[in-house]
Amino acid sequence: MYAALNTLGRLQLMLLLFALLGGVSGLYGIATYAKPREVAYALAIAAKLVASAALPTNYLYMAELFPSSVRSAVMCGAYTCGRFGAVFAAALANLQDVGREDFGFALLALVVFGGLVTLLSLPETTVGGTADLAVANMDGNRRDLLYLMQNTLMPTRKKKENEEQASERPACSGLGSGVARGLFHAVRTLPLIRRT
């Protein structure tokens, strides 16, 4: 898996795995109605293996695609969309009871097509990205490394915001100053409780 990620690239490997998953799942759908059931079982195991390989590739690609400042929010949003998709797919199974499973297939085909168009429009992320190339091209100057870290990591706050936050903090010093600041912030943000 590691060799495939580094030779093909994340996007190309994901496209290959999704194509394999679609092909094996299509063959599984055909084989479930055939007489030798063992073929369907083998295809179900193959589909599970391909899906198990595609899942970490998807998460890795998603983590590399976004900057550190929004990465966790984007990944949580993706997990949420996946959960909604699972609930929605289970709800579409009820269309078979009313004889309109063709509508479900059409809707799923539209969603898969939209996902494929979105996936094809995303950039490729590889191990040898721009940050790695910039580190390799540096001449050993610490200022270059600082500039690289500032541009690839979470952006720093502006000076005015830092001064405003410092003026709101209490003047605490000593061993427990971090605890005192945390308590001050917690008490300050608590809603006021009225006594009746």
What pLDDT does 164 receive? 59
- Phi, psi at 195, each rounded to 5°: -95, 135
Question: What is the DSSP track for 82-135?
Answer: HHHHHHHHHHHGGGGTTT-HHHHHHHHHHHHHHHHHHHHHSPP--SS-HHHHHH
* Residue-level pLDDT, tens digit, the chain, 196 residues: 778 877 788 888 888 999 999 899 889 888 888 777 888 899 999 999 999 998 888 888 888 888 888 888 988 998 898 899 889 888 888 888 888 888 888 888 898 899 889 888 888 876 555 555 555 565 555 556 666 666 665 544 555 555 555 555 544 444 444 444 544 444 444 444 434 4
What pLDDT does 66 receive? 83
What pLDDT does 20 receive? 93
Domain extents in the chain? 2-121
- CA–CA gap between residue 82 and residue 35 (Å, rounded): 34
Name the helix (H) or strand (E) containing 64: helix 37-65
What pLDDT does 1 receive? 77
What pLDDT does 37 receive? 83
Q: Is the separation of the CB atoms in 63 and 76 below 8 Å?
A: no
- Phi, psi at 123, each rounded to 5°: -80, 160
Encoded amino acid at 43, one letter: L
Please state the pTM of the whole predicted model. 0.58
